[in-house]
Amino acid sequence: MLVGIDAIAIALPRRYVDMEELAAARGIDPAKYTLGLGAREMAVAEPGEDTVALAANAVERVLAGRDRRDLGMLVVGTETGVDHSKPVASFVHGLLELPRTMRVFDTQHACYGGTAGVMAACEWIASGAGRGRSAIVVCSDIARYGIGTAGEPTQGAGAVAMLITEDPAIAAIDIGGSGTASAHVHDFWRPLGQREAEVDGHYSVQCYLEALTLAYAGWREKTGGAELARICYHVPFCKMAKKAHEHILPASTFETMVAPSLALCSRVGNIYTGSLYLGLAGLLDAQSADLANQRIGLFSYGSGCTSEFFSALVSPRAHEAICRAHLGEVLAARTRISVAEYERIVEAREPLGTATGFAYVGSESKQRRYVRNERSAHTR
């Protein structure tokens, strides 16, 4: 049975900053951000434009025109949830009025959480436990580091929603072929009650590469080293994908095998759990017609750490399916803001645990305000 990604949709914050302008404001050579890190633009989430709102919008888009009665599972991968107990998935389930009979939960392990959801959904369907039903997996996060820190240019925000089905129109996952690698390390973490992440950036690069070596070897052993046309890597910043690729394969293959997956990421920044899948969406948007019936590799890394190298077979219907995500329109709908406006937005962010968010579900004219910490969460 073929199981995998049938549809993808993304939701982005409505504002972004230009990286050359940010570098100039920090007194840094812009080439460090554009060439050194590979960043062009960075998404900026406003107060109220939170993980739930981004996830709900992405799900609304991926389900457009589809029969919701076929859904059996909703998983949100996130490391920037809005409550210690109530999952983001529960808010999304309520906001979109999805079927009561669904299994609904979040998965967390830094940037790996989305892949945990993808694997849970694929294995649920492939095992037969889903009884023909489909799953939605959403990766939704807001990456925040302090103003003026080394991590500042590697922020971003956004959500990627994927419909997981039998006979998928985008790509069938090679279930059981994954190589995995984990270790108890402190490369990146966010203590309870703290909004900004702590990161030992250079150490995180080292942990990522060590995990990749082991996970890639595991995937090769299980699949016999199937031929890969492209590889999408987890992208905390675009240059990381180059470092990763050159760590396992000849550097001369980077432009062909990896660069096409980075164009979209370079215009959004790090979206943690969704970064790998944003890269996949960008790759397919650019090259799906050429990739039909070809196999691609995917490497998911979550600090802390755990990781998975897996592969997927691109469907001949992928081009038609990715066109429905209208990625160009989603990007074009954003507004560029100045560094001063970005700083005002960062300073205006609500303290953690405050009550409300805005879910711009469908369109701004239909925006709904939802309440996070009342006994019975509801929309208004």
Q: Which residues bind ligand COA (CB under 6 A)?
A: 29, 31-32, 35-37, 150-151, 153-154, 188, 199, 201-202, 204, 208, 236-237, 239, 270, 301, 303
Q: How far is the CB of 168 from ligand COA (least distance, A)?
A: 28
- Residue 39 DSSP symbol: -
**For ligand COA, the closer CB: 80 or 134:** 80
Decide whether 178 or 303 has the Cβ nearer to ligand COA: 303
Q: Toward ligand COA, which CB reaches closer, 34 or 165? A: 34
Query: What is the sign, positive or negative, of the torsion defined by CA atoms of 104, 109, 113, 119?
Result: negative
CB of 299 to ligand COA, least distance (A): 11
Assess contact for 235 and 328: CB atoms under 8 A.
no
Report the distance separating Cα 73 and Cα 103, nearest Å.
Answer: 5
Residues with a known catalytic role: 79, 111, 234
- B/e letters for 258-272, b = 16+ CB within 10 Å, e = fewer, are bbbbbebbbbbbbbb
CB of 340 to ligand COA, least distance (A): 22
| Six-digit token string for 150 | 């080394």
Contact 152, 39 (CB under 8 A): no
Q: How far is the CB of 152 from ligand COA (least distance, A)?
A: 8
CB 36 to ligand COA: min, Å: 2
DSSP letter string, 178-245: -EEEE----SEE--TT-SSPEE-HHHHHHHHHHHHHHHHHHHHHHHT----SEEEE--SSHHHHHHHH
> Which residue blocks in the chain are alpha helix, DSSP H?
19-25, 30-31, 51-62, 88-95, 113-126, 201-223, 238-248, 254-257, 275-291, 318-323, 327-332, 339-347
CB atoms within 10 A of CB 152: 18
CA distance 339 to 18: 8
Smallest separation, CB 206 to ligand COA (Å):
10
CB 23 within 8 A of CB 32: yes
Tokens at 242, concatenated: 């180059």
Nearest approach, Cβ of 245 to ligand COA (angstroms)?
13
Nearer to ligand COA, 46 or 196 (CB): 196
> Could you identify the residue written with the tokens 């560094």?
339
- The smaller minimum CB distance to ligand COA, of residues 32 and 247, is found at 32
The answer to whether 210 and 307 are in contact (CB under 8 A) is no
**Which one, 236 or 282, has the nearer CB to ligand COA?**
236
Q: Which is nearer to ligand COA, 112 or 360 (CB)?
A: 112
